A = this chain, B = another copy of it.
Amino acid sequence: MTKKFAIGIDLGGTHVRVAIVSRDGDVVKKIKEPTSEEILDSIFRSVSSLFSDEVAGIGLGIAGLIDREGSNVLISPNIPSIKGLDLVSEVKGRFRVPVFIENDANVAAFGENWVGAGKEFSSFFLFTLGTGIGGGIIQDKELLNVAAEVGHMTINANGNKCHCGNSGCLESYASANAILLKVVAALEEGRESMLTEICSGNFYKITPEDIYRAALDGDIFSREILKDAGKYLGIGVANVINLMSPDAIIFTGGLTGAWDIYIQEAIKEASKRAFKELFDKVKIVPSLLRDDAGIIGSAGLVFHSESFEALSQ
């Protein structure tokens, strides 16, 4: 008999999300806990609490580079303790069901393609806009098995040093981290802004939401910072349009909350830079599954692999 569910895991730098997902892509139950140093323990513990005989398999979405054969994490800057672990074997050994692994932005794209904002498009590029910037590519309704590390695309030849070792990376201009670093540096130099009051002088407490709200309340500095980051994001978007000519661009992640300033500026900049013929046909939309794209997408890997096996039998 066909088992009804799959477990999807979205392992990011700060949190592990785990969910039980139905064959229709509905989240039946989900849990979220902080990422601990003992990464395997926290995966085992959270999966155990949701596991049952009705689980067909487990999908893992990991913030990091996954090898092409989809079995190993090559690097994961935000979860260093994961390196060298044979996650697939470990999880398979413990739960005795098929286990799949993919990059977290790739599974989010997979989820949006399956039951989200990407359903109606044959091809799209997903940008995950959070602490860092990630990407996932859907082509002819299938996830492309590529790194899609759009956050580490150089958009400024002699630009800012990035933590990846490169310089001028999109991520070092347009991510939440880049925005916060810039804000703190400017405020420390005495730049005037409502933010100083909002954070009671502790600049490190400022969040992207604070900046967006201050911008909406008329804070010129906050507005400038968001527009500037959006402009750089627009360069990345234009590059993706000229390269992949997708039917759609989908944005997900915390920074999409600042849509009316940050994303709008990105769209404006991309419209100036991309080929008009390609820009005119691309739809630019927000994610539908939001924070659940990763858990839904990674569970989806399990069902997708089943249908693939059925086809080849």
Considering the complex, which residues of chain A in the window 87-145 have a beta carbon less than 8 Å from any beta carbon of chain B?
Answer: 123, 135, 139-140, 144-145
Q: Once the chains bind, are B147 and A278 in contact (CB under 8 Å)?
A: yes
Q: Once the chains bind, are B157 and A244 in contact (CB under 8 Å)?
A: no
Query: Residue on B with the closest CB to A274?
Result: B166
Counting CB contacts under 8 A, is A75 at the interface? Answer: yes
Set of chain B residues within 8 Å of A275, measured between Cβ atoms: 65, 75, 147, 149, 152, 164
Considering the complex, which residues of chain A in the window 276-310 have a beta carbon less than 8 Å from any beta carbon of chain B?
Answer: 276-278
Give, as a whole number of angstroms, the nearest-CB distance from A51 to chain B: 32
Knowing A65-B275, A155-B157 are in contact, say whether A146-B238 is a contact too (CB < 8 A).
no
Q: Once the chains bind, are B154 and A155 in contact (CB under 8 Å)?
A: yes
Q: Once the chains bind, are A166 and B277 in contact (CB under 8 Å)?
A: no
Counting CB contacts under 8 A, is A153 at the interface? Answer: yes
Counting CB contacts under 8 A, is A232 at the interface? Answer: yes
Q: Once the chains bind, are A146 and B65 in contact (CB under 8 Å)?
A: no
Q: Once the chains bind, are A156 and B153 in contact (CB under 8 Å)?
A: no
- Of the four ranges (under 10, 10 to 19, 20 to 34, 35 or more), the interface on chain A belongs to 35 or more
Q: Once the chains bind, are A154 and B277 in contact (CB under 8 Å)?
A: no
Q: Once the chains bind, are A157 and B242 in contact (CB under 8 Å)?
A: no
Give, as a whole number of angstroms, the nearest-CB distance from A301 to chain B: 17
Counting CB contacts under 8 A, is A150 at the interface? Answer: yes
Q: Once the chains bind, are A244 and B146 in contact (CB under 8 Å)?
A: yes
Give, as a whole number of angstroms, the nearest-CB distance from A311 to chain B: 14
Counting CB contacts under 8 A, is A7 at the interface? Answer: no
Q: Once the chains bind, are A147 and B238 in contact (CB under 8 Å)?
A: no
Q: Once the chains bind, are A243 and B153 in contact (CB under 8 Å)?
A: yes
Query: Residue on B with the closest CB to A232?
Result: B157
Considering the complex, which residues of chain A in the window 38-65 have a beta carbon less than 8 Å from any beta carbon of chain B?
Answer: 65
Counting CB contacts under 8 A, is A268 at the interface? Answer: no
Distance of A145 Cα from B245 Cα, bound (Å): 9
Give, as a whole number of angstroms, the nearest-CB distance from A300 to chain B: 20
Distance of A166 Cα from B158 Cα, bound (Å): 18
Query: Residue on B with the closest CB to A75?
Result: B277
Counting CB contacts under 8 A, is A68 at the interface? Answer: yes
Which of A75, A146, A148, A173 has most chain B Cβ within 10 Å? A146
Distance of A123 Cα from B147 Cα, bound (Å): 13
Q: Which of B139, B164, B238 contacts A144 (CB 8 A)?
A: B139
Counting CB contacts under 8 A, is A74 at the interface? Answer: yes
Query: Residue on B with the closest CB to A144?
Result: B139
Distance of A231 Cα from B146 Cα, bound (Å): 24
- List 8 A-B residue pairs with CB atoms under 8 Å apart, sorted by A's residue number: A146-B243, A146-B245, A149-B242, A154-B239, A154-B273, A155-B157, A156-B157, A166-B273
Query: Residues on A close to B: CB < 8 A?
Result: 65, 68, 74-75, 123, 135, 139-140, 144-150, 152-159, 164-167, 173, 232, 235, 238-239, 242-246, 272-278
* Among all A-B residue pairs, the 10 with the closest Cβ atoms: A147-B245, A74-B277, A149-B242, A156-B157, A166-B273, A153-B239, A152-B242, A146-B244, A154-B235, A146-B245
